[in-house]
Amino acid sequence: MAESSFHRTVRPAGGRLRRPSPGPVRGCQAVANPLPAAPAVYPGSAPAEVPVSPGPEGLVLRQAGPGDARAARAMHERCSPSTLNRRYHGPVGDADRYLGHLLDPRHGRTLAAESPGGEIVALGHVLWDGDDTEIALLVEDAWQRRGVGMALLRRLLVLAREAGCDSVYAVTQSGNTGMRAAMRSTGLPLEYDWSEGVLVISARLAPSAAAGALPAPAGG
């Protein structure tokens, strides 16, 4: 699966992050301070720890946090500009600025895919956004289309359901066919909202996900 490019696209200055609404979508670069320091409080009961589990091709999937910032920045350096642009919807030089917020457990949960050599090669986020929940992924170029993003995506959806979420949304570029295919493969009911080249995909979480399971991937 190619890297997905989720990120909130509407960021009120000084306010909490919120789900994009119909109308122009500005992107992460729209405001000078897009990542407020105040924690976003989610009313669910997110698990404190995420078990380590095996991933595809010898990778380990584990919970990540602020202590992984240096390894995450190193992953950014290995990503192509087009990969970072599709993920963050803005100048690639700004990508590192978002890591402090994304890795902060006050705002959600982050999963890392770690190589046998100890490098983080992908990150997945489930981000509390008031009554809404966003999911986001970044897979470095050398590991794209190898099942890494799909493995993280399915784990993120389980985490969201365990935290009491009924649905999630993902923000990507409308031309990102890999992300659209990955979301379809979950077997969940989806809704699509296009705005100026940006696509918001909303997924209703199946009740079975509450028990730590998701529908079988389509075609598999």
| 15 within a domain of the structure (yes/no) | no
In this predicted structure, what is the pLDDT of residue 16? 32
CA dihedral 162, 166, 168, 174 (to 10 degrees): 140
> Which residues on adjacent β-strands are paired with residue 200?
171, 193
How many Å apart are CA 207 and CA 173, to the nearest integer?
A: 29
Instruction: Identify the domain containing residue 54 by its residue range.
Output: 50-164
Q: Which helix or strand (DSSP H or E) is residue 199 part of? A: strand 198-204
**Helices and strands (H and E) in the chain: how many:** 5, 8
Which of left, alpha, beta for 204 (phi over 0: left; psi -120 to 50: alpha)?
A: beta
| 210 within a domain of the structure (yes/no) | no
In this predicted structure, what is the pLDDT of residue 39? 36
| 60 within a domain of the structure (yes/no) | yes
**How many structural domains are present in the chain?**
1
| 84 within a domain of the structure (yes/no) | yes
Q: What is the CATH number of the domain that holds 109?
A: 3.40.630.30
| Residue ranges of the chain whose pLDDT lies below 70 | 1-49, 207-220
pTM of the model as a whole: 0.75
Coil, strand or helix: which one is 49? coil
Return the ∠ at Cα 69 (arms to 68 and 72), rounded to 5°. Answer: 85
In this predicted structure, what is the pLDDT of residue 48? 54
CA distances from 104 to 24, 57, 63, 168 (A): 28, 28, 12, 19
